Amino acid sequence: MKLTSGVSQLVEALRCLPGIGPKSAQRIAFHLLEHDRDGGRQLGQSLTFAMENIGHCKSCRTFCESEQCDICLSAKRQDSGLICVVESPTDILAIEQTGQFQGRYFVLMGHLSPLDGIGPMELGLDIFEQQLRSGAVEEVILATNPTVEGETTAHFIADMCAKHDVSASRIAHGVPVGGELDLVDGMTLSHAFSGRKKVN
């Protein structure tokens, strides 16, 4: 009785956005209907396209609507022989903003968490091991988050690199311990990269 079904459906659907409660959802719905139909239309299309078509790059696992992402397709980056391992696609954005790293990435989409059933396979480490085996990788930079889980994951991957005689390094401390990598400023990240230490 209070809202017509189209409006209440929209308000309900907006609740899927993280941090949006019922009151905010209502305000957003009315804002779009009253002041920004073009924006709302564009967002509707982008969401529909993204949810249907965006998968994962077959080489680095980042979000991507084609088979391989632009970074993986770049010959220059491939030739560098460097792979930086990160937990999430947002970490790539943060690192790219420093402009300092010219290699490729591998995105774990998480970290090892045996209690949640997240093991090496769930992080795509079988794909990663194939890349190590190919001989095209000279150095792996471990840029997982400086948390307990991130460190454990980094150690696990360092051992995997050692097994394949590939050198591995961990980005320097400088990123605040316990924090999230993609919240760190560019300067700190740059320092963390240049001060990286060999771990095997």
- What are the CA-CA distances from residue 197 to residues 66, 68, 139, 194 (Å)? 35, 30, 12, 9
Q: Which is nearer to a second copy, 102 or 130 (CB)?
A: 102
Judged by CB under 8 A, the stretch of 34-42, 118-126, 135-143, 156-164 that binds a second copy is 34-42
CB 170, min distance to a second copy, A: 24
90 binds, among Zn ion, a second copy, none (CB under 5 to 8 A by kind): a second copy
Out of 60, 82, 86, 88, the residue judged to bind a second copy by CB under 8 A: 88
Task: Choose the contact partner of 59 out of Zn ion, a second copy, none; CB within 5 to 8 A by kind.
Answer: Zn ion
| Shortest Cβ 74–Zn ion spacing (Å) | 10
Q: How far is CA 161 from CA 4, 94, 154, in A?
A: 59, 25, 10
How many Å apart are CA 66 and CA 82, to the nearest integer? Answer: 23
CA distance 25 to 14: 6
Q: Quick one: which of 30, 79, 177, 198 contacts a second copy (CB under 8 A)?
A: 30
Least distance to Zn ion, CB of residue 60, Å:
3
Q: Strands (DSSP E) along the chain, which ranges?
A: 55-56, 63-64, 82-86, 104-107, 139-142, 167-170, 197-198
Least distance from a second copy to the Cβ atom of residue 153, Å = 17
Q: Verify binding: residue 145, a second copy, rule CB under 8 A.
A: no
From CA 126, how far away is CA 39, in angstroms rounded?
Answer: 41
